[in-house]
Structure 1
Amino acid sequence: MKIAVLGAGHVGPVLARLALAAGHEVAIAGSGDPARIEMITEFLAPGAVARTAADAVADAELVVLAIPWHRFPALDPGLFAGKVVVDAMNHWPPADAPLGTSEQVARRLVGADVVKTLNHVAYQDMEPAAGRAVGLAGDAPAAVKAVAEFLESTGFDPVPMGSLAAGRLLEPGSPLFGVAARRYEFETFLKEQS
């Protein structure tokens, strides 16, 4: 699978490494000229290719948003039409808004299939991924399935949580946020919420 990781800070390179180890082709983009992150990429995610966001997204089958929330409005929504987009972003400080962050992402990226996941895991806890349960939420079943398969390939144990609105349960302030939970803990929490 061709993966585009937007974000070369903490989360992006970790996800790029996991994807590369699983045999995926990875392009990584920062906020500017790819030359600015080539050394970071070579050191933190050897095998990933530094590209512009537009070029990385154009070739990707799956796009991971691992950028700071305040940078999201600078992205061109037209790049993402027809793409499966993983929203791994968080709003800091936590937003008291009527919509979760992924619902806001989906509203802006019209034509993309947005899936919320990985935002609730600290980057330093992502490796090794083996057996770590991660929630995922989305409105497009085919996109949720594709993301679940990607997550499984990297070693995570994906736990479907329902619609994109359920992704709010993965955001800061939730009992699931920042916790190394196992599948049964996710499932128990979801039962308690219903």
Structure 2
Amino acid sequence: MENKDILDDQASSDMQQPDNLTTPPVTDEDAVTVNGGEPVDSDETAPAEAVVTETATADDIKAGNELAELKDKYLRLYADFENFRRRTAREKLELINNANQGVLQALIPVVDDFERAMQSIDNTNDVAALKEGVSLIYNKLFKTLEGKGLKPMVSKGQPFDADLHESVTQFPAPSDDLKGKVIEEIEKGYYLNDKVIRFAKVIVGS
């Protein structure tokens, strides 16, 4: 009888759980692992769509910044080009308007000499002095023009050249060696440096 009571007490004690019994905390070692036993990171379990969205947003911001930078560079370059174009057009116009300034300034003293000569004509009867004065003015004028690059063309006795001469008419040549050559110069031709600025009007021997 005593043995039965002892067995009943032991069975009753086994069925009862102590009040202070708690579940031990789960450590990293006890966590569910994948990929060779490494613990699963919660960030890696985020949906793939969220990662793609974040990447796309960053790319859009970067592309927008690059576009704004390129647009700013384009506007600055366009403004610089417009300023250059306007400045060039203005300088070209000024150059055209003032192209003859140097020549005119050089000719003003010659004009002064002509004015003095015109005043002297009414006050003198010395023809020789007038001729000498006119000759001096002519030489001064010619030297001034030569200084600006003007050169007279030598045509008489030269073979006719359509690039230099303008034939007014043809006369029988006084000798065989003058056939096809300039026998008379009606109007002198001129060069500006090495460029023909006026053709010589000539008579050609035939």
- TM-score (structure 1 length as normaliser): 0.19
- Higher RCO (C-alpha under 8 Å, 6+ residues apart): 1
TM-score when normalising by structure 2: 0.18
Larger-Rg structure: 2
